[in-house]
Amino acid sequence: MSWPRPLDPFRSFKVKTGLLVVASLLLASLTFWLTSQWQFRFALLSALVAALVVTQVLAHGMTSPLREMTAAAKAMATGDYSRRVRSTSRDEIGQLATAFNQMAEDLEAEDRYRRELIGNVSHELRTPIAALQAVLENVVDGVAVADRSTMMSALAQTERLGGLVADLLDLSRLEGGAVPLRRATFEIEPFLGEVIAQASGPGRSLRVDVDVAPAGLRAVADTARLHQVITNLVDNAARHGSQNSPVRIRIRVRADPQSGDLILDVHDDGPGIPDADRSRVFERFARGGAQDGGTGLGLAIARWAVELHDGRIEVLDTSGGCCIRVALPQS
């Protein structure tokens, strides 16, 4: 059962202290006046007891947030971030309690993210390491021959490990704010050609249809970060789309002259992303229900790189497949 806090509506702790003193004196004076017919010592004792009671009632409501914060801080020291402080007061201590609750929520979210990160990274690393170990054990035991096919299998697992480590490093840099933006003006079509060529790589041929209008369109962005965004979006579209259909990239400038955003759409003809998953598909390790061997980090990295540009990234409603739109301000 929580005690009442009659002084919570007041916005100043000093005002509360003054009211506490005034209330104590008034009640002591009233009690002394009512008991004035008694012997002096009993009247004085009654006034002091009345003042002490009202002081305890009012002071309890003033200081209880501090006691609650002390208890919650001790719980946090043991790893319990679920404790919250009652923050109904409107004075400085109430503001402190509100800030304390926000800090507790942030710490709880970070602790949950840390636990999920450890679990997800362990799961992601376990599969390629186990596959690579199996290949090498077979070669060492003489069960398999170290021919081109066997080595290609081992190389594929090694590349998957390297890709996961690179994604984690990029994500860590983006979240830590250690990636400064170096904006530059460049022409879109040659830039896209370079990105697609590097994304294809040896042994992997990507079919990408590029539609940029008007011809010679130029953009203002950090080319390294935009390269990262487009590479991840194209890789995601290629993995989910049909092998018989190309990934389609469409780039325009928003018609609104006040915004002038660069609009980049990446479209595939795959199964699409369910509505229930669209709000979390850009979170770390979220795969939208797909089990295609991806790390679940590509779209999270794309989102952070877009947000570094003060841009937006979203999944559009389409009649078929999946279309992810990136809007980058050009001012």
Q: Taking the CA of residue 14 as centre, how many other CA atoms within 13 Å lie in the half-sphere pointing to its CB?
A: 0
Q: Count Cβ atoms below 10 Å from residue 30 Cβ, excluding itself.
A: 12
Which pLDDT does position 236 carry in this prediction?
84
pLDDT band at 187 (very low <50, low <70, confident <90, very high): very high
Q: Residue 36: phi, psi to the nearest 5?
A: -65, -20
Amino acid symbol at 204: R
- What tokens were used for 218? 């130029």
Q: How many distinct helices (H) and strands (E) make up the chain?
A: 7, 7
**How large is the angle between the packed helices 298-308 and 148-175, nearest 10 degrees?**
40
Q: What is the pTM of this model?
A: 0.56
Give the whole-angstrom CA distance, residue 235 versus residue 294: 10
Peptide bond preceding 214 in cis form (omega within 30 of 0): yes
167: left (phi over 0), alpha (psi -120 to 50) or beta: alpha
The better pLDDT of the pair 193, 204 is held by 193
Per-residue confidence (pLDDT) for residue 38, from 0 to 100: 61
Q: Kindly state the average pLDDT of the residues 74-93.
A: 80
- Phi and psi torsions of 244, nearest 5°: -90, -10
Domains and their CATH numbers in the chain: 13-103 (no CATH), 112-175 (1.10.287.130), 183-328 (3.30.565.10)
**Pairwise CA distance, residues 316 & 190, whole Å:** 26
pLDDT at 258 over 70: no
CA–CA separation, 131 and 151 (whole Å): 12
Span 197-207, mean pLDDT?
68
Asked if the model's pLDDT at residue 58 lies above 60, the reply is yes
φ, ψ for residue 220, nearest 5 deg: -120, 110
Higher pLDDT, residue 253 or 95 = 253
Write out 168-203 in H/E/C secondary structure. Answer: HHHHHHHHCCCCCCCEEEEEHHHHHHHHHHHHHCCC
pLDDT at residue 296, rounded to an integer? 61
Residue 41 tokens read as 């010592």
Q: What is the pLDDT of residue 291?
A: 46
DSSP state of 18: H
Q: What is the pLDDT of residues 204-227, one digit of tens each?
A: 567 889 999 888 899 999 888 888
pLDDT digits (tens, 9 = 90+) for 263-317: 999 998 888 888 877 777 887 665 554 444 445 677 887 888 888 888 999 998 8
Residues 6+ apart with CB under 8 A from 124: 164, 285, 295, 296
Predicted confidence band at 321 (pLDDT cuts at 50, 70, 90)?
A: confident
With b meaning 16 or more CB within 10 Å and e meaning fewer, what string describes 170-189? bbeebeeeebeeeeeeeebe
Convert the pLDDT of each residue in 158-167 to its tens digit: 877 887 777 7
Cβ contact 253:263 at 8 Å? yes
Distance CA 7, CA 62 (A): 7
Overall residue count recorded for the chain in this entry: 331
Band of the pLDDT at 190, cuts 50, 70, 90?
very high
Phi–psi pair at 24, nearest 5 degrees: -65, -45
Q: The tokens of 268 are what?
A: 């595939």
Q: What pLDDT band is residue 189 in, cutting at 50, 70 and 90? A: very high
